[in-house]
Amino acid sequence: MQTYVKLSSIVEEYNLKPIVTPAGCGDIEITVADVNRPSLQLAGFFEYFDPARIQIIGMVEYTYLKSLTPDARFSAIERLFKEPVPAVIITRNMVPFPEFIECAKKYNRALYVSDYSTSRFTSAIILYLNVALAPMTQLHGVLVEVYGEGILLLGESGVGKSETAIELVKRGHRLVADDAVEIRRVSNKSLVGSAPEIIRHFIELRGIGIVDVKRLFGMGAVKDTENIDLVINLENWQQGKAYDRLGIDTEVVDILGIEVPSLTIPIKPGRNLAMIVEVAAMNARQRKMGYNAAEELNDRMMNQE
Protein backbone atom coordinates (compact mmCIF):
# COMPACT_ATOMS: atom_id res chain seq x y z
CA MET A 1 0.00 0.00 0.00
CA GLN A 2 1.42 3.35 -1.04
CA THR A 3 1.75 5.94 1.70
CA TYR A 4 0.79 9.56 1.19
CA VAL A 5 0.44 12.89 2.97
CA LYS A 6 -2.53 15.15 2.43
CA LEU A 7 -1.73 18.66 1.28
CA SER A 8 -3.78 20.03 4.18
CA SER A 9 -1.29 18.47 6.62
CA ILE A 10 1.61 20.30 4.98
CA VAL A 11 -0.32 23.58 4.96
CA GLU A 12 -0.99 23.20 8.68
CA GLU A 13 2.54 22.04 9.53
CA TYR A 14 4.20 25.06 7.89
CA ASN A 15 1.41 27.60 8.38
CA LEU A 16 1.19 28.32 4.65
CA LYS A 17 -0.84 31.33 3.54
CA PRO A 18 -3.53 30.29 1.01
CA ILE A 19 -3.73 32.35 -2.17
CA VAL A 20 -5.72 30.07 -4.49
CA THR A 21 -7.34 26.98 -2.99
CA PRO A 22 -9.57 25.04 -5.40
CA ALA A 23 -12.31 22.90 -3.86
CA GLY A 24 -10.89 19.72 -2.36
CA CYS A 25 -7.26 20.75 -2.72
CA GLY A 26 -6.60 19.91 0.93
CA ASP A 27 -7.26 16.26 0.11
CA ILE A 28 -4.61 16.15 -2.63
CA GLU A 29 -2.29 13.23 -1.87
CA ILE A 30 1.45 13.90 -1.89
CA THR A 31 3.20 10.60 -2.67
CA VAL A 32 6.83 11.62 -3.32
CA ALA A 33 9.28 13.09 -0.84
CA ASP A 34 11.16 15.14 -3.44
CA VAL A 35 10.24 18.72 -4.29
CA ASN A 36 11.15 20.82 -7.31
CA ARG A 37 12.30 24.36 -7.98
CA PRO A 38 10.99 24.88 -11.54
CA SER A 39 13.62 27.24 -12.93
CA LEU A 40 14.12 25.17 -16.08
CA GLN A 41 10.41 24.58 -16.50
CA LEU A 42 9.67 28.31 -16.38
CA ALA A 43 12.24 28.63 -19.18
CA GLY A 44 10.40 25.95 -21.17
CA PHE A 45 12.41 22.77 -20.47
CA PHE A 46 10.13 19.94 -19.30
CA GLU A 47 12.17 16.80 -19.99
CA TYR A 48 12.49 14.62 -16.85
CA PHE A 49 9.90 16.80 -15.12
CA ASP A 50 7.92 15.02 -12.38
CA PRO A 51 4.51 16.69 -11.96
CA ALA A 52 3.86 14.76 -8.73
CA ARG A 53 6.32 16.98 -6.84
CA ILE A 54 5.44 20.13 -4.94
CA GLN A 55 6.80 23.15 -6.82
CA ILE A 56 8.73 25.78 -4.85
CA ILE A 57 9.23 29.30 -6.18
CA GLY A 58 12.25 30.96 -4.60
CA MET A 59 14.10 34.21 -5.16
CA VAL A 60 15.85 32.94 -8.32
CA GLU A 61 12.61 31.93 -10.03
CA TYR A 62 10.81 35.05 -8.81
CA THR A 63 13.56 37.37 -10.07
CA TYR A 64 13.62 35.62 -13.44
CA LEU A 65 9.86 36.03 -13.83
CA LYS A 66 10.10 39.66 -12.76
CA SER A 67 12.53 40.33 -15.63
CA LEU A 68 10.00 39.15 -18.22
CA THR A 69 7.29 41.15 -19.92
CA PRO A 70 3.74 40.46 -18.63
CA ASP A 71 2.90 38.35 -21.70
CA ALA A 72 6.13 36.31 -21.45
CA ARG A 73 5.63 35.93 -17.70
CA PHE A 74 2.09 34.64 -18.23
CA SER A 75 3.29 32.11 -20.81
CA ALA A 76 6.08 30.86 -18.52
CA ILE A 77 3.75 30.45 -15.54
CA GLU A 78 1.01 28.90 -17.65
CA ARG A 79 3.42 26.22 -18.91
CA LEU A 80 4.00 25.18 -15.30
CA PHE A 81 0.36 25.32 -14.20
CA LYS A 82 -0.78 23.24 -17.19
CA GLU A 83 1.05 20.33 -15.55
CA PRO A 84 -0.94 18.46 -12.85
CA VAL A 85 1.25 19.70 -10.01
CA PRO A 86 -0.17 19.21 -6.50
CA ALA A 87 0.73 22.73 -5.30
CA VAL A 88 2.93 25.74 -5.97
CA ILE A 89 4.49 27.42 -2.93
CA ILE A 90 6.15 30.84 -3.06
CA THR A 91 8.72 31.38 -0.31
CA ARG A 92 10.10 34.44 1.51
CA ASN A 93 6.57 35.87 1.81
CA MET A 94 6.92 37.29 -1.71
CA VAL A 95 3.77 38.71 -3.28
CA PRO A 96 2.53 36.46 -6.11
CA PHE A 97 2.42 38.01 -9.56
CA PRO A 98 -1.14 38.43 -10.89
CA GLU A 99 -0.23 35.83 -13.53
CA PHE A 100 0.27 33.26 -10.76
CA ILE A 101 -3.22 33.83 -9.42
CA GLU A 102 -4.80 33.89 -12.88
CA CYS A 103 -3.16 30.62 -13.96
CA ALA A 104 -3.86 28.92 -10.64
CA LYS A 105 -7.56 29.71 -10.99
CA LYS A 106 -7.61 28.80 -14.67
CA TYR A 107 -6.11 25.32 -14.12
CA ASN A 108 -7.42 24.69 -10.57
CA ARG A 109 -4.00 24.51 -8.96
CA ALA A 110 -3.29 25.20 -5.29
CA LEU A 111 -1.14 28.28 -4.64
CA TYR A 112 0.37 29.16 -1.26
CA VAL A 113 2.92 31.56 0.22
CA SER A 114 5.42 30.72 2.96
CA ASP A 115 7.39 33.14 5.12
CA TYR A 116 10.30 30.65 5.32
CA SER A 117 13.46 31.30 3.34
CA THR A 118 13.70 29.07 0.28
CA SER A 119 16.56 26.86 1.48
CA ARG A 120 15.08 26.50 4.96
CA PHE A 121 11.64 25.61 3.64
CA THR A 122 13.02 23.17 1.06
CA SER A 123 15.13 21.26 3.58
CA ALA A 124 12.33 21.25 6.17
CA ILE A 125 9.64 19.93 3.85
CA ILE A 126 11.93 17.25 2.37
CA LEU A 127 12.74 16.03 5.89
CA TYR A 128 9.05 16.08 6.81
CA LEU A 129 8.04 14.13 3.69
CA ASN A 130 10.88 11.61 4.06
CA VAL A 131 9.55 10.69 7.50
CA ALA A 132 5.86 10.81 6.59
CA LEU A 133 6.29 8.78 3.39
CA ALA A 134 8.85 6.30 4.70
CA PRO A 135 8.16 2.55 4.33
CA MET A 136 6.11 1.52 7.37
CA THR A 137 5.12 -1.57 9.29
CA GLN A 138 3.20 -2.08 12.52
CA LEU A 139 4.21 -4.44 15.32
CA HIS A 140 2.42 -5.53 18.47
CA GLY A 141 4.66 -4.33 21.27
CA VAL A 142 5.70 -1.43 23.47
CA LEU A 143 8.23 1.30 22.65
CA VAL A 144 9.94 3.22 25.44
CA GLU A 145 12.86 5.60 25.70
CA VAL A 146 15.34 4.52 28.37
CA TYR A 147 18.47 6.60 28.97
CA GLY A 148 18.16 8.02 25.45
CA GLU A 149 17.86 4.57 23.84
CA GLY A 150 14.72 3.50 21.98
CA ILE A 151 13.76 0.08 23.37
CA LEU A 152 11.13 -1.99 21.55
CA LEU A 153 9.58 -4.62 23.85
CA LEU A 154 8.05 -7.59 22.06
CA GLY A 155 6.34 -10.72 23.36
CA GLU A 156 3.06 -12.55 23.60
CA SER A 157 -0.01 -10.87 25.08
CA GLY A 158 0.04 -10.96 28.88
CA VAL A 159 3.79 -11.44 29.17
CA GLY A 160 4.18 -8.08 30.98
CA LYS A 161 5.22 -5.55 28.34
CA SER A 162 2.85 -2.79 29.49
CA GLU A 163 3.57 -3.40 33.19
CA THR A 164 7.29 -3.10 32.49
CA ALA A 165 6.69 0.10 30.54
CA ILE A 166 4.69 1.72 33.35
CA GLU A 167 7.41 0.82 35.87
CA LEU A 168 9.99 2.42 33.56
CA VAL A 169 7.84 5.55 33.36
CA LYS A 170 7.74 5.68 37.17
CA ARG A 171 11.54 5.50 37.11
CA GLY A 172 11.72 8.62 34.95
CA HIS A 173 11.82 7.14 31.44
CA ARG A 174 9.32 7.86 28.66
CA LEU A 175 6.56 5.97 26.90
CA VAL A 176 6.31 6.26 23.11
CA ALA A 177 3.77 3.58 22.17
CA ASP A 178 1.81 0.77 23.78
CA ASP A 179 0.15 -2.21 22.09
CA ALA A 180 0.64 -1.01 18.48
CA VAL A 181 3.95 0.48 17.31
CA GLU A 182 4.15 2.09 13.88
CA ILE A 183 7.70 1.76 12.57
CA ARG A 184 9.03 3.82 9.67
CA ARG A 185 12.32 3.37 7.82
CA VAL A 186 13.45 6.99 7.52
CA SER A 187 16.91 6.22 6.14
CA ASN A 188 19.12 3.25 5.26
CA LYS A 189 20.21 3.06 8.90
CA SER A 190 17.36 4.47 10.97
CA LEU A 191 13.98 3.20 12.15
CA VAL A 192 11.58 5.55 13.93
CA GLY A 193 8.67 4.29 16.00
CA SER A 194 5.50 6.05 17.07
CA ALA A 195 1.98 5.29 18.26
CA PRO A 196 -1.14 5.49 16.11
CA GLU A 197 -2.76 8.87 16.74
CA ILE A 198 -5.90 7.39 18.29
CA ILE A 199 -4.06 5.56 21.11
CA ARG A 200 -1.09 7.91 21.57
CA HIS A 201 -0.02 8.30 25.23
CA PHE A 202 -2.50 5.65 26.44
CA ILE A 203 -1.48 2.35 28.00
CA GLU A 204 -3.53 -0.73 28.93
CA LEU A 205 -2.95 -2.41 32.27
CA ARG A 206 -4.85 -5.63 32.84
CA GLY A 207 -7.08 -5.36 35.89
CA ILE A 208 -6.98 -1.55 35.83
CA GLY A 209 -7.90 -0.68 32.25
CA ILE A 210 -6.80 2.24 30.10
CA VAL A 211 -4.44 4.79 31.64
CA ASP A 212 -3.57 8.20 30.19
CA VAL A 213 0.15 8.34 30.88
CA LYS A 214 0.53 12.00 29.91
CA ARG A 215 -2.17 13.15 32.33
CA LEU A 216 -1.19 10.78 35.12
CA PHE A 217 2.60 11.26 35.05
CA GLY A 218 2.99 14.55 33.17
CA MET A 219 4.33 15.70 29.81
CA GLY A 220 7.83 14.51 30.64
CA ALA A 221 6.64 10.90 30.78
CA VAL A 222 5.74 10.61 27.09
CA LYS A 223 7.35 11.13 23.71
CA ASP A 224 5.78 11.12 20.25
CA THR A 225 8.57 9.40 18.31
CA GLU A 226 11.85 7.62 19.02
CA ASN A 227 14.55 5.78 17.08
CA ILE A 228 14.57 2.02 17.61
CA ASP A 229 18.00 1.09 18.97
CA LEU A 230 17.32 -2.26 20.65
CA VAL A 231 14.65 -4.97 20.48
CA ILE A 232 13.96 -6.97 23.64
CA ASN A 233 11.89 -10.13 23.33
CA LEU A 234 10.15 -11.03 26.59
CA GLU A 235 9.20 -14.69 26.95
CA ASN A 236 8.15 -16.96 29.78
CA TRP A 237 11.03 -18.96 31.21
CA GLN A 238 11.32 -22.32 29.44
CA GLN A 239 12.89 -25.03 31.54
CA GLY A 240 15.82 -26.60 29.71
CA LYS A 241 16.22 -23.83 27.14
CA ALA A 242 19.77 -22.47 26.87
CA TYR A 243 19.73 -18.69 27.31
CA ASP A 244 22.71 -16.48 26.43
CA ARG A 245 24.65 -15.76 29.63
CA LEU A 246 27.65 -13.89 28.21
CA GLY A 247 26.37 -11.80 25.32
CA ILE A 248 29.45 -12.18 23.15
CA ASP A 249 27.42 -12.88 20.03
CA THR A 250 25.09 -10.04 19.11
CA GLU A 251 21.67 -11.19 17.93
CA VAL A 252 19.80 -9.05 15.42
CA VAL A 253 16.25 -8.84 14.10
CA ASP A 254 15.37 -7.58 10.62
CA ILE A 255 12.80 -4.78 10.50
CA LEU A 256 12.08 -3.25 7.10
CA GLY A 257 15.48 -4.41 5.85
CA ILE A 258 17.46 -2.93 8.75
CA GLU A 259 19.16 -5.17 11.32
CA VAL A 260 18.51 -4.07 14.90
CA PRO A 261 20.36 -5.53 17.92
CA SER A 262 18.11 -7.96 19.79
CA LEU A 263 17.96 -9.64 23.20
CA THR A 264 15.74 -12.40 24.57
CA ILE A 265 14.93 -12.02 28.26
CA PRO A 266 13.25 -14.93 30.07
CA ILE A 267 10.57 -14.03 32.59
CA LYS A 268 9.83 -15.74 35.86
CA PRO A 269 8.55 -14.54 39.26
CA GLY A 270 10.96 -12.32 41.13
CA ARG A 271 12.77 -10.81 38.14
CA ASN A 272 12.76 -7.01 38.08
CA LEU A 273 12.11 -6.45 34.39
CA ALA A 274 12.28 -2.65 34.53
CA MET A 275 15.75 -2.79 36.08
CA ILE A 276 16.87 -5.38 33.53
CA VAL A 277 15.65 -3.18 30.66
CA GLU A 278 17.53 -0.21 32.15
CA VAL A 279 20.76 -2.22 32.31
CA ALA A 280 20.19 -3.52 28.76
CA ALA A 281 19.76 0.07 27.52
CA MET A 282 22.95 1.26 29.22
CA ASN A 283 24.87 -1.77 27.96
CA ALA A 284 23.61 -1.19 24.39
CA ARG A 285 24.76 2.42 24.65
CA GLN A 286 28.20 1.29 25.78
CA ARG A 287 28.45 -1.10 22.84
CA LYS A 288 27.63 1.69 20.39
CA MET A 289 30.48 3.66 21.95
CA GLY A 290 32.86 0.76 21.31
CA TYR A 291 32.99 -1.07 24.64
CA ASN A 292 31.74 -4.66 25.00
CA ALA A 293 31.92 -6.04 28.54
CA ALA A 294 31.58 -9.66 27.37
CA GLU A 295 34.54 -9.30 25.01
CA GLU A 296 36.54 -7.57 27.74
CA LEU A 297 35.94 -10.48 30.13
CA ASN A 298 36.76 -13.00 27.40
CA ASP A 299 40.04 -11.22 26.64
CA ARG A 300 40.99 -11.24 30.33
CA MET A 301 40.33 -14.97 30.57
CA MET A 302 42.33 -15.68 27.42
CA ASN A 303 45.27 -13.61 28.70
CA GLN A 304 45.16 -15.40 32.06
CA GLU A 305 45.59 -18.73 30.32
Catalytic residues: 140, 161, 179, 245
Q: What is the DSSP string of 250-291?
A: PEEEEETTEEEEEEEEEE-TT--HHHHHHHHHHHHHHHHTT-
Q: What is the spatial distance between Cα 79 and Cα 145, in angstroms, rounded to a whole number?
A: 50
3-state secondary structure of 233: strand
Beta-bridged to residue 182, according to DSSP, are: 138, 194
End-to-end CA distance of the chain: give it in Å, rounded.
58
- Quick one: CA dihedral 143, 149, 154, 159, positive or negative? negative
Q: What is the spatial distance between Cα 157 and Cα 85, in angstroms, rounded to a whole number?
A: 47
165 neighbors 141 (Cβ within 8 angstroms): no
Q: What is the spatial distance between Cα 209 and Cα 49, in angstroms, rounded to a whole number?
A: 54
Q: Which of 129, 53, 42 is CA-nearest to residue 87?
A: 53
CA angle 69, 71, 74 (to 5 degrees): 105
Give the H or E element holding residue 129: helix 118-132
89 neighbors 113 (Cβ within 8 angstroms): yes
Q: What is the spatial distance between Cα 131 and Cα 166, in angstroms, rounded to a whole number?
A: 28
